[in-house]
Chain A
Amino acid sequence: MEKYIFYILSVIIIVFAVASVSSRKMLRSVIYLLFVLCGIAGIYFLIDYNFLAAIQLTVYAGGIIVLIIFSVLLVHHIEMELEMAKVSRKILTGLLCLLGLAVFLYTIYNNDFNVVENQVTTTTYDIGAKLLSYDAGGFILPFEVISLLLLASMIGAIVIAKGRKLNDKNNEAL
């Protein structure tokens, strides 16, 4: 049964991925993208990686897609359609896509995948312990680096959002 579910999910992902890049209505492409992301979450559920699936749903479907929809709502009117690209650009994009696909397929077919016999459900406890361990194979350093990066980007966002006020004060001081 799992095989059929995998095929159904794959068809959903591929069909909506193509629809997402070929639709000329902006919000529709976003929704097709949402279906692609939900399909990927479905595959994570299928391989029993529940935590990652829920992360996929929260961060991508619930967070990023909502933000994209939000920005589309702000800038886009319901009657607008995206312009068709020039023929030369279409050909160039097609060639680049084919190149990407070739690299991708080459890697897939030349890689020996390890087939795991006994699948184990990854628990939140394992993930947490691994994330904060400083032994070999622990992820404490990347974890800290990423938190620093997030802090920096948050401060940056606040500075940009408050920019004008700060500048006014600076000008007065000068």
Chain B
Amino acid sequence: MNISLNITETIQDWLMSMMPEGVASIAAMVSVALIYLIIFAVAGLYLVLLERKVAAWFQLRIGPNRVGYWGLLQTMADALKLVSKELTGTVKADKFLYNLAPYFVIISSLMALAVFPFTKEFQAFDINIGIFFLIAISSVGVIGILLAGWSSNNKFALIGAMRSGVQTISYELSVGLSLLTMVLLTGSLQLSEIVESQKEGWLILQGHVPAIIAFMVYMIAGTAETNRAPFDMVEAESELGAGFHTEYSGMKFAYFFLAEFINMFIIAAIATTVFFGAWLSPFGITESLPWLGVFWFLGKTIVLVFLMMWFRWTFPRLRVDQLLTLEWKYLLPINLVNIVIMAVMVWLNLTIKF
């Protein structure tokens, strides 16, 4: 098992000096996992705040502004409230599956975070199938939603879960195929090598027309895969109460809620890595300061997250049949043709490289 934990090397060397090798490597992994957990729990909370602020801005309101300066502590207070709330449940629910479901969703989204290259050194797990690992992990999360809907013993929750299953299975295809289009350019699935190949220009420039089509398809399918508006059939408030998490309260609800926002971050971060050069700065202006990569990465990701929030407050919700028509009759054929175009382009060396 060759797990290359780049950021842990220094931690591991330090731990190695005071305990045996096996224990030290386990301790290093646990500490990295804890650091990631804390960072992304807090980041998820601030994404919620960002969503509320953006929503307020679009609707000409002020948004949360009471707790802390400019409402900055609002979501922290919400999280504390959720921790202290009672965990309710339905009487005839399948308790085991009911309790298991939130963990599926949150664990699968936290696992995906491990592979992102925030800078050249700040990457926890540089697996050689990078992108494919992300696709594989993201396909597990939907099981949590299906379980939550079924085990709640509530018909609205069940309908929400069914819709979610249909939606995620369909749109996963488009996400995978649009990423595959870009893999044709890089020739590698490993995320660090994908970033390396973008030093000659970000992939969206290298691949010009087909890359832009792939990016548009990816953003549409990615938004649908996170079950966000305009694709939020899963929890359409006006039709299904709160969808699959109607019966959840307190921390278990918070897991679903947090996972939704972390998933949004993941979709944006994949797009940043594959299309916009991850931690590379535009025109290499900060090449001498590699640690600034974190800010470039997060900056690009936040812009894409904002784009997804913009979708949410601009487009009306789709019907189920429109949702499936969009995927199977438009996105998928466009994607397949696009892959062929990209392949021909790479074959004839029509890519733009600086």
Which residues in A have some Cβ–Cβ distance to B below 8 Å? 1-2, 5, 25, 27-28, 31, 34, 45-46, 48, 50-51, 53-55, 57-58, 61-63, 65-67, 69-70, 72-73, 78-79, 121, 123-124
Contacts and interface: CB of A to CB of B under 8 A. Distances in A.
B150 A78 contact: yes
Interface string B188-214: 110000000000000000000000000
Contacts of B172: 62
Contacts of A57: 136-137, 139-140
B135 interface: yes
Contact of B129 (A2, A54, A79): A54
B93 A78 contact: yes
Given A28-B97, A58-B139, A69-B147, A124 B165 contact: no
Contacts of A72: 150
Contacts of B97: 27-28, 31
B316 interface: no
Interface string B165-177: 1001100100000
Contacts of B94: 25, 27-28, 78
Contacts of B151: 27, 78
A103 B133 CA distance: 36
6 contacts: A28-B94, A50-B129, A62-B139, A63-B139, A66-B139, A73-B158
A106 B143 CA distance: 37
A10 to B, nearest CB: 15
B162 interface: yes
B122 interface: no
Nearest to B138: A62
Contacts, number: 95
Contacts of B96: 28
A45 B26 CA distance: 17
Contacts of A45: 1
A174 B16 CA distance: 83
B22 interface: yes
A65 B127 CA distance: 25
A70 B146 contact: yes
Contacts of A67: 169
Nearest to A77: B153
Given A62-B172, A69-B146, 9 more contacts: A58-B139, A61-B143, A62-B136, A63-B169, A65-B143, A66-B146, A69-B165, A79-B92, A124-B189
B99 to A, nearest CB: 12
B318 to A, nearest CB: 20
Interface in B45-103: 92-94, 96-97, 100
B128 to A, nearest CB: 6
Contact of B22 (A1, A66, A73): A1
Interface centre among A48, A63, A73, by most chain B C-beta atoms within 10 angstroms, is A73
Contact of B128 (A25, A27, A121): A121
B281 interface: no
A124 B137 CA distance: 18
A84 B172 CA distance: 39
Nearest to A45: B1
Contacts of B26: 1
B278 interface: no
A66 B142 contact: yes
B161 interface: yes
Interface string B271-293: 00000000000000000000000
Contact of B146 (A46, A73, A78): A73
Contact of B150 (A2, A27, A48, A123): A27
A45 B129 CA distance: 11
